[in-house]
Amino acid sequence: MHLVIGGAASGKSKFAENLVFQTDLPRIYIATAQAFDDEMRQKIVAHQEMRGPEWITKEAPIDLAQAISYCPEDHIVLVDCLTMWLSNLMLADYDLEAETRTLVQTCTARKGPVVLVTNEVGHGIVPDNSLARKFRNAQGRLNQDIAQVCDRVTLVVAGLPMNLKGSA
């Protein structure tokens, strides 16, 4: 497992996709974003066009662990991104700790490779409202839990990858 973490628009998704392209394995892209407005719909279409037809795309805004568990072991899986998934869970009032445990267990049990993309939200200011602080704290815990079980962790800043864990 490889976790790719970074700020918004840091280049983390492009870096993660390049990791996947370095293998000869069939590719599965698990998308967690939901298109609630025109801007997001356009962003999703742009990402799909950039990836091209070589990818199998699965939508999993909530049931991420289940989507990962259904992927064939001989495929490489790219999840983009855990931050959107967590947002979806919060908005739907799921038990974040239970869902995180299930995701960690599913990823750990998977025999095939998986690359997970997530945002680092702890580098900014302390949010001024309770919901934003709850999200920031939940995202930090999720990132820590996933990073702990990953073989590799890469921080991407300004498009530059920095190895945090595992062999480069």
Domain around 9: 2-165
Q: Which of 2, 47, 75, 123 is catalytic?
A: 47
pLDDT recorded at residue 103: 98
CA–CA distance from 31 to each of 83, 95, 130, 131 (Å)? 11, 21, 28, 24
> pLDDT band for position 168 (50/70/90)?
low
Of 30 and 125, more confident: 30
Answer whether residue 116 shows pLDDT above 70: yes
Domain count, the chain: 1
Active site residue 75: no
Q: How far apart are CA 114 and CA 20, in angstroms?
A: 9
DSSP-derived pairing of the beta strands 152-157 and 2-6: parallel
Q: Is the pTM of this model over 0.75?
A: yes
Contact partners, residue 54, CB within 8 Å, separation at least 6: 27
Bond from prior residue into 81 cis (ω within 30 degrees of 0): yes
Percent of the chain with pLDDT over 90: 83
pLDDT recorded at residue 53: 85
- Report the CATH number that the domain containing residue 120 is assigned in CATH: 3.40.50.300
* 98-124 average pLDDT score: 95
pLDDT recorded at residue 125: 82
pLDDT recorded at residue 58: 95
